[in-house]
Amino acid sequence: MTDISKQDRVLIFDTTLRDGEQSPGATMTHAEKLEIASLLDEMGVDIIEAGFPIASEGDFKAVSEIAMNSKNSVICGLARASFADIDRCMEAVKHAAQPRIHTFIGTSPLHRAIPNLTMDEMAERIHETVTHARNLCDNVQWSPMDATRTEEDYLCRVVEIAIKAGATTINIPDTVGYTAPRESAALIRMLLERVPGADEIIFATHCHNDLGMATANSLAAVEAGARQIECTINGLGERAGNTALEEVVMALKVRNDIMPYQTGIDTTKIMNISRRVAAVSGFAVQFNKAIVGKNAFAHESGIHQDGMLKNAETFEIMRPQDVGLAGTSLPLGKHSGRAALRAKLGDLGFELADNQLKDVFVRFKELADRKKEVYDDDLIALMRVGEDPENDRIQVKRLRVVCGTEGPQTAALTLMIDGVGSATEATGDGPVDAAFNAVKALFPHNARLQLYQVHAVTEGTDAQATVSVRMEEDGRIVTGQSADTDTVVASVRAYVHALNRLLVRREKSAPGEDRREVSYTDPS
């Protein structure tokens, strides 16, 4: 194991269960909080902010129980600058092997106005409350809320007071997400230079994402000397959220060449906890979110997929396995090329010659134009579809159906029969029956429909339906299949596919020839 010196080690402080849970609508149940805390502990989070014990009985119970169950992480509770808050917080975190009290007060002019305290009165409050917390607990964190909009001289003054009163960590919050990376770094540097005793404690950075700069601001603070990053899973948090744990941790890992700092996080646990937090908070992760978004390791364009198949590093700066994913995803869509299609079909067990691939590729592109994403099952359906429709004697040219609660359902169909187009309109008991009646009207036959089966082979409302039909005429048995996002279209094509086979069979076999075979393969 590498010996990580204190200078290079950055502590990860996760506040998903406190700041994250404060996001409107993200409330978690007691059991969910315990589950997330245990996942955070397992993944190597140094400090878990488990809640705000005085806020409610539920928060108190959650923080207490998380504290009891914690294995490796420090368990922290939040408290305002009041003795009652701090006492309640200690009551909850005391069960942890490593408890921490985190107390805070807003120090900017806007925030000082709320309790209507003068600068001196607030300084005195900070001295009293931090001293009180430190008398209860060896591990005390203090935060000047809205630090980035607090006058620098006053900030230095109150930080010094908190350090002298016994705070072991000083957190510098960008409460409103107003700061920029250069300022974030300058602020930490300024505090380290000007505040007596600053080198004895740990500076933390706590950034909100109102301008989309939270992760950049946190990393800039680290480069300036902060050694604790406060963050949440998926960037959950008030308004635009907080610095995302997965982003800072992976940035430090992937760009260790320019940011030589280590965390204790097992990054392979990232994807699992991200999914659990999304599920329990009800805050779905946006598809293109860094690291944990559905598309973060997905490549769709032909050029990208081709590059990925040759060398993953062409378009990936980290391995999906590093964050706990099984592998890269090459979703097939309208931008995919032949190389990706061949590779995917090969994985599915279809080895194709070049000319076969050419044909399948045309059908694949037609499908991809209609569907957002083409799944494995779509491809299987595609591979099973009619052999060479161009040579079919009967071809479906156009179909329009009217269906709904008010019958009769009607189908307007145009078929090309031996190169000649003919059209009709028919009604029926439902759109499929109407469409089949139209086929019969245009191409009269005595074949009996023995089986009609619809199978939605993919999920979602844009799923492909595979339709199979079986028909019998004078003992000849034929089947037809088709797949389409429109079930009625798939049904008519499958029916017509079976009729085409019947025409071929009529030429090749005498009536009744199939009977023995059928009773053998299908005793029903």
Least distance to ligand KIV from the beta carbon of 78, Å? 6
Does 175 bind ligand KIV (CB under 6 A)? Our answer is yes
For residue 485, with 0-12 CB atoms within 10 Å meaning exposed, 13-18 middle and 19 or more buried, which class applies? middle
Does 19 bind Zn ion (CB under 5 A)? Our answer is yes
Distance between CA atoms of residues 434 and 425, nearest Å: 8
CA distances in angstroms from 354 to 33, 191, 351, listed in the order given: 55, 67, 10
Least distance to Zn ion from the beta carbon of 308, Å? 38
Strands (E), 265-419: 394-402, 409-417
Under DSSP, the state recorded for 313 is: G
In the complex with Zn ion, the residue whose CB is nearer, 19 or 41, is: 19
Distance between CA atoms of residues 76 and 102, nearest Å: 7
Of 15-23, 79-87, 120-128, 322-330, the segment contacting Zn ion by CB under 5 A is 15-23
Cβ-contact 214, 222 below 8 angstroms: no
Of 12-20, 42-50, 53-61, 478-486, the segment contacting Zn ion by CB under 5 A is 12-20
From the list 206, 304, 334, 371, which residue makes contact with ligand KIV (rule: CB under 6 A)?
Answer: 206
Does 203 bind ligand KIV (CB under 6 A)? Our answer is no
Six-digit token string for 495:
């029916």
Least distance to ligand KIV from the beta carbon of 181, Å? 18
Of 121-129, 169-177, 283-291, 486-494, the segment contacting ligand KIV by CB under 6 A is 169-177
The site partner of 143 among Zn ion, ligand KIV, none (C-beta below 5 to 8 Å per kind) is ligand KIV
Closest CA to 177 of 147, 200, 152: 147
x/- letters, 5..24, toward ligand KIV (CB under 6 A)? --------------x-----
Distance between CA atoms of residues 216 and 195, nearest Å: 25
The site partner of 428 among ligand KIV, Zn ion, none (C-beta below 5 to 8 Å per kind) is none
For Zn ion, how many residues bind (rule: CB under 5 A)? 1
Of 130-138, 168-176, 195-203, 348-356, the segment contacting ligand KIV by CB under 6 A is 168-176
Least distance to ligand KIV from the beta carbon of 317, Å? 30
Does 173 bind ligand KIV (CB under 6 A)? Our answer is yes
Cβ-contact 291, 246 below 8 angstroms: yes
Distance between CA atoms of residues 94 and 442, nearest Å: 83
In the complex with ligand KIV, the residue whose CB is nearer, 13 or 361, is: 13
In the complex with ligand KIV, the residue whose CB is nearer, 171 or 305, is: 171
DSSP letter string over 157-194? HHHHHHHHHT-SEEEEEETTS---HHHHHHHHHHHHHH
Under DSSP, the state recorded for 236 is: -
Does 145 bind ligand KIV (CB under 6 A)? Our answer is yes
- Phi, psi for 337 (deg, rounded to 5): -105, 180
Question: Which residues make Cβ contacts (< 8 Å) with residue 491, sequence separation at least 6?
Answer: 432, 435, 436, 452, 454, 467, 469, 482
Ramachandran region, residue 99 (left: φ > 0; alpha: ψ -120 to 50; beta: rest): beta
Report the residue closest to Zn ion, judged by CB.
19
From the list 16, 139, 143, 218, which residue makes contact with ligand KIV (rule: CB under 6 A)?
Answer: 143
Distance between CA atoms of residues 280 and 439, nearest Å: 52
From the list 13, 60, 104, 203, which residue makes contact with ligand KIV (rule: CB under 6 A)?
Answer: 104
In the complex with ligand KIV, the residue whose CB is nearer, 175 or 458, is: 175
In the complex with ligand KIV, the residue whose CB is nearer, 183 or 316, is: 183
Least distance to ligand KIV from the beta carbon of 160, Å? 19
Does 107 bind ligand KIV (CB under 6 A)? Our answer is no
Residues 517, 391, 438, CA angle at the centre, nearest 5°?
A: 80
Q: Of all helices (H) and strands (E), which one includes residue 348?
A: none
For ligand KIV, how many residues bind (rule: CB under 6 A)? 9
Query: What is the signed CA dihedral for 341, 344, 350, 354, rounded to 10 degrees?
Result: 30
Least distance to ligand KIV from the beta carbon of 15, Å? 7
The site partner of 401 among Zn ion, ligand KIV, none (C-beta below 5 to 8 Å per kind) is none
Least distance to Zn ion from the beta carbon of 160, Å? 23
Task: State the residues that interact with Zn ion by CB under 5 A.
Answer: 19
User: Interface with ligand KIV by CB under 6 A: which residues?
Assistant: 19, 104, 143, 145, 171, 173, 175, 206, 208
